[in-house]
Amino acid sequence: MNQILIVLFILLLTKTEAGERSKHVEIINDLGPNTDLTIHCKSKNDDLGVHLLHFQESYWINFKVKLFGGTLLFCSFQWPGSFHHLDIYDQKRDNVPPIPLMHVRHVDT
């Protein structure tokens, strides 16, 4: 007879500072040696500028989410022969604290 043991873990991805939730995003160039990555990130109110990342370099973005929602952070990513645009943080999509993770293990008895 198989029983399913379900373990729920709560993962809190945010920390609280004076009532505001801080978020941290790290972008790493893992495209390969001799391939530079150009990124340009913005929010509705802030332009974080253009940054050039060489292979294995990273760029950190730290920001606080809005109390009543609506925080959006988007970036363009460009390297030789490619250009992409991505919403890297969308509060409606990504801000669901706490985030439950489910681990399922089958046990024979």
Per-domain boundaries in the chain: 2-108
Q: Answer yes or no: is pLDDT of 16 > 60.
A: no
The Cα–Cα gap between 63 and 20 comes to: 10
Tokens of 89: 């943080």
Please state which CATH number belongs to domain 2-108.
2.60.40
Instruction: Detail the DSSP E strand segments found in the chain.
Output: 2-11, 15-17, 20-28, 37-43, 47-53, 58-64, 72-79, 82-90, 99-108
pLDDT of residue 36: 94
pLDDT higher for 12 or 106? 106
**Among the listed residues 7, 9, 8, 10, the one whose alpha carbon sits nearest the alpha carbon of residue 97:** 10
Q: Answer yes or no: is pLDDT of 23 > 50.
A: yes
Assess whether the previous peptide bond of 98 is cis (omega < 30° from 0).
Answer: yes
Q: Answer yes or no: is pLDDT of 99 > 60.
A: no
Q: Answer yes or no: is pLDDT of 10 > 50.
A: no
* For residues 58-78, average pLDDT: 86
Q: Answer yes or no: is pLDDT of 29 > 60.
A: yes
CA 62 to chain centre: 11
* For residues 51-63, average pLDDT: 91
pLDDT of residue 69: 76
